[in-house]
Amino acid sequence: MSNSDDLLDVLLVGYGAVGVMYTYFLENSKRARVTVVARGNYSLVQDKGINIESGRLGNHAAWKPYRIFGSVSDAADRQYHYVVVTTKALPDVLPTSRLLSPLLAAEYKFPQPTYVLAQNGLGVEDDLYAAAKRTRSHEPIIITGAVFLDASLTDSRDGLVQGTMEKLVVGLYVGETAPPPAPDAVASLQTFVDVMKQGGSNASMAENIQYEKFMKNRWNAVVASLCTLARQPPPAMSLTPKLEEIVEGPLHGTLQELSALGQALGYPVTEEDARFLTDRTLRGFSKTSPHLPSMLVDVQRGSPLEVEVIIGALVRLGKKYKVSMPRMELIYALLSIIQVQNLQKDGLKV
Ligand SMILES: *[C@@H]1O[C@H](CO)[C@@H](O)[C@H](O)[C@H]1NC(C)=O
Ligand SMILES: *[C@@H]1O[C@H](CO)[C@@H](O)[C@H](O)[C@H]1NC(C)=O
């Protein structure tokens, strides 16, 4: 165990399944101590800890990290080397710059951290980058990642269940008008990956992180969207041969729109890609697979959907790069109707 003075201080915001896993990896490295912000279930996780049952982490009863707070402002009492964000990305409900405002405010006297955004969707970094750039003279350092993880919290919210699959791919965010990454940014990325790996995570650095995020986002943008609109898990799409035939054309057509967009963005996406994903969606799932896309779970709970970063961002890129995406636009419109209903019902701003 290192001397506590040598430990990296990490703040992790968003103590859901991804947040618990990453907190464990970071502390398990013995190189970091993690202050957690658990906004929804602060007293529960503070009092009882989390019961971890995980193929990758092992089993740990009532596990707690170094410190737990209920808000970012309570946690803004020291310098952090890294601030890891594992919340859902909801720019239409709570932009990341507002979530992290206590760290961006002039009253926060400590040097700026490296931000790590472990979130679904595209363009999740833009608002934080702009806000950090506005308030500080130093070029912001933002690591962004694609998270692959078969973990969920139990309904009681004090247990984590995970299988064996876990993969984190990260890279530095480079804004459209930003200079290429400075050596201190590259070193910070390297250290983060090293620490995560030492803690047991299957973390790696991407050559082109935005390409990795784009490829990961395809499934959520098309398959999870259609499941959410139909209120059914993926195997329901091919329950009968007749149904499979009805679904196949539109599903493939929608995925083809994303292949065209990927090509316009300069990514090596081929024609076979849409075919492969269509086949896997209709014929690759066990008919009894219990897995539900997280967007479908959100809609069942009446929670906000990550519609802007998963679908809206693609539609906006399509307009910018003049790629016709009528099917994606329709999906975006329908999910936006659900989103605004839910937000207004909960009295959330839209
Ligand atoms: C924990 O969070 C969930 C979802 O955010 C909420 O429904 C539940 O009431 C919370 N439970 C406690 C004990 O705080
Ligand atoms: C670890 O990551 C690699 C590639 O990044 C992937 O091929 C492999 O399946 C992952 N392992 C696990 C256990 O998830």
pLDDT tens sequence across 189-236:
999 999 999 999 999 999 999 999 999 999 999 999 999 999 999 999
CATH value of 4-206 in 3.90.76.10, 3.40.50.720, 2.60.40.790, 1.10.3680.10 = 3.40.50.720
CATH architecture of 211-345: Orthogonal Bundle (1.10)
pLDDT band (50, 70, 90) for residue 271 = confident
Contacts of 334 (CB under 8 A, 6+ apart): 229
4-206 and 211-345 agree in CATH topology = no
Ligand 2 near 231 CB (within 6 A) = no
Pocket test of ligand 2: the residue of 148, 167, 170, 205 to mutate, having most ligand atoms within 8 Å of its CB, is 167
Which atom of ligand 1 is closest in space to residue 42's alpha carbon? Answer: 14
The 10s digit of each residue's pLDDT in 168-182 is 999 999 987 777 889
Q: Mean pLDDT, the chain, as a whole number?
A: 93
pLDDT-above-90 percentage for the chain: 83
Residue 96 above 80 pLDDT?
yes
Residue with the smallest CA separation from ligand 2 atom 8 is 167
Spatial separation of the C-alpha atoms in residues 161 and 338, rounded to whole Å? 29
Contacts of 349 (CB under 8 A, 6+ apart): 93, 343
Pocket test of ligand 1: the residue of 37, 41, 86, 155 to mutate, having most ligand atoms within 8 Å of its CB, is 41
Which sequence spans correspond to the domains of the chain?
Answer: 4-206, 211-345
pTM to 2 decimals? 0.94
pLDDT band (50, 70, 90) for residue 289 = low
